[in-house]
């Protein structure tokens, strides 16, 4: 690892100031992605600004038809949170299926969403539920946030402070883990909110998480396992690598959608 300067931010303003003062600063959250990258000499930020100590970025708040999760909230805390379990059980289950206990005890929702790994789980929930990404300076709709593999609408030095989820009528996530990494090889989040159906697919897209229009309209007209099975998943733009061909991944999209629909009830 190259030398870097560590800052522990006490507030969001603090963190923003530390970032803007650095030549090449990076937010440090759970460090589950950032630190391994640094150890492998693939990243060498001049400054690390740790946001885990910022009280306003922690925990779950229930609003009027919404659940807001602080960006520095760890996966394990989302998985075990009574409000999340009561209002969006599919989201709690998703968090509980990320990595292993060590990863869930360190990794955060903000870090996962900011990183936008094409195989990460959270982006499927954020996009599938039509959540809002709240930053230190603005609010970004999920549909505008994810811009492709490892790329988001965040500006340099912009910090995610929270994610605000609308409480759905029903929602669920089904994940087919990559056999080696256990990240999503295909993950499908289905949600019906206020009569509106959204389906987001992670792990399968060359450009990262995407909405499955065909599946959405099929489920909008009939929210059933059979219509999930019947929807066509095009292989265009679907990842093709040594773990799964585009054909296999496209097939798994349907299978996972069926399972998600069945879980959503």
Partner 1 sequence: MTDGIGARVARKEDKRFITGKGKYTDDIRMENQAYAAFVRSPHASAKVTGIDASAAEAMEGVIAVHTGPELKADGIGDIITGWAITSKDGNPMQCGVWNPMVTEFARYVGDAVAIVVAESQDLARRAAEKVSVSYDELPATVFADHALETDAHQVHENVPGNLIFNWEIGDEEKTDAAMSGAHHVTQIDITNNRLSPNAMEPRSAVAVYDEAEDHYTLYTTSQNPHVARLVLSAFYQVAPEHKLRVIAPDVGGGFGSKIYIYPEEIACLWASMKTGRSVKWTSDRSEAFMTDAHGRDHVTTAKMGFDADGKIVGFHVDTIANIGAYVSLFATATPTYLYGTLWSGTYDIPAIYGTVRAVHTNTVPVDAYRGAGRPEATYMIERMMETAAREMGMDPAELRRRNFVKEFPYQTQVLLQYDSGDYDALLDMAQDAANVSGFAARKAEAAGRGKLRGIGYSTFVEACGLAPSAAAGSLGAGVGLWESAEVRVNPVGTVEVLTGCHSHGQGHETTFAQLVADRFGLPIDSVSIVHGDTDKVQFGMGTYGSRSGPVGMSAVMKALDKVEIKAKQIAAHVLEASEVDIVIEGGEAKVAGTDKTMGWHEVGLAAYTAHNLPEGMEPGLKETSFFDPVNFSFPSGALICEVEVDPDTGVTEIVQFTAADDFGTIINPMIVEGQVHGGITQGIGQALHEGVVYDDSGQLLTGSYMDYQMPRAADVPSYTVSHGCTPSPNNPLGLKGCGEAGAIGAPPAVINAIIDAIGTDNLQMPATPQAVWTALQSAKMPMAAE
Ligand X SMILES: Cc1cc2nc3c(=O)[nH]c(=O)nc-3n(C[C@H](O)[C@H](O)[C@H](O)COP(=O)(O)OP(=O)(O)OC[C@H]3O[C@@H](n4cnc5c(N)ncnc54)[C@H](O)[C@@H]3O)c2cc1C
Instruction: Draw the binding track, 30-69, toward partner 1 (x: CB under 8 A; -: no contact).
Output: ----------xx----------------------------
- Min CB(221)–ligand X separation in Å: 31
Using the minimum distance from each CB to ligand X, give the nearer residue, 25 or 219.
25
- The partner in contact with residue 265, picked from ligand X, partner 1, none with C-beta cut-offs of 5 to 8 angstroms by kind, is none
- The partner in contact with residue 2, picked from partner 1, ligand X, none with C-beta cut-offs of 5 to 8 angstroms by kind, is partner 1
Q: Which helix (H) or strand (E) holds 192?
A: strand 184-193
164 within 8 A of 131, measured Cβ to Cβ: yes
Strands lying side by side in the sheet with 196-202: 170-177, 184-193, 196-202, 210-211
Instruction: Draw the binding track, 216-245, toward ligand X (x: CB under 6 A; -: no contact).
Output: ------------------------------
| Tokens of residue 222, six digits | 């009939």
Instruction: Draw the binding track, 138-167, toward ligand X (x: CB under 6 A; -: no contact).
Output: ---------------------xx-------
User: Residue 164 pairs with which residues in a beta bridge?
Assistant: 68, 132
Instruction: Draw the binding track, 183-212, toward partner 1 (x: CB under 8 A; -: no contact).
Output: x-----------------------------
Give yes or no for residue 6 binding partner 1 (CB under 8 A).
no
Q: Cβ neighbours of residue 86 under 8 Å, at least 6 residues apart?
A: none
Please work out the total of residues on this chain that contact partner 1, with binding judged by CB under 8 A: 17
- The partner in contact with residue 150, picked from partner 1, ligand X, none with C-beta cut-offs of 5 to 8 angstroms by kind, is none
Q: Cβ neighbours of residue 2 under 8 Å, at least 6 residues apart?
A: 38, 41, 44
| Nearest alpha-carbon partner for 237 in 199, 206, 202, 200 | 206
Report the alpha-carbon distance of residue 19 to residue 22 in Å, rounded: 5
3-state secondary structure of 42: coil
Give yes or no for residue 78 binding ligand X (CB under 6 A).
no
Angstrom CA distances, 193 to 35, 59, 165, 198, 240, stand at 37, 23, 11, 8, 32
What residue ranges bind partner 1 (CB under 8 A)?
1-2, 40-41, 176, 179-181, 183, 242-245, 248, 251-252, 255
What residue ranges bind ligand X (CB under 6 A)?
26-34, 51, 71, 98-99, 103, 106-108, 110-112, 114-115, 117, 120-122, 159-160, 182-183
């Amino acid at each position: 690892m190259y030398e870097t300067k560590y800052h522990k931010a006490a507030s969001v303003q603090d963190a923003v100031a530390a970032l803007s003062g650095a030549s090449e600063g990076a937010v440090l959250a759970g460090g589950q992605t950032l630190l391994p990258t640094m150890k492998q000499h693939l990243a060498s930020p001049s400054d690390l600004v740790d946001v885990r100590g910022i009280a306003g970025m922690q925990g779950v708040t229930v609003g009027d038809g919404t659940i807001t999760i602080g960006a520095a909230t760890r996966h394990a805390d989302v998985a075990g949170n009574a409000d999340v379990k009561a209002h969006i059980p599919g989201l709690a289950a998703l968090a509980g299926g990320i990595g292993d206990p060590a990863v869930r005890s360190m990794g955060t929702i903000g870090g996962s969403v900011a990183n936008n790994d094409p195989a990460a789980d959270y982006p499927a929930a954020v996009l599938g539920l039509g959540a809002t990404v709240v930053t230190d300076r603005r609010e970004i709709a999920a549909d505008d946030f994810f811009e492709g593999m490892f790329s988001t609408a965040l500006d340099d030095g912009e910090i995610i402070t929270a994610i605000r989820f609308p409480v759905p009528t029903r929602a669920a996530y089904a994940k087919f883990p990559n056999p080696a990494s256990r990240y999503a090889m295909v993950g499908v989040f289905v949600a019906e909110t206020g009569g509106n159906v959204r389906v987001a697919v992670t792990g399968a897209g060359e450009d990262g998480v995407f909405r499955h229009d065909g599946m959405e309209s099929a489920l909008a007209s009939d929210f059933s396992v059979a219509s999930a099975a019947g929807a066509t998943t095009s292989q265009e733009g679907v990842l093709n690598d040594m773990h799964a061909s585009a054909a296999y991944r496209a097939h798994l999209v349907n299978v996972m959608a069926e399972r998600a629909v069945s879980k959503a009830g």
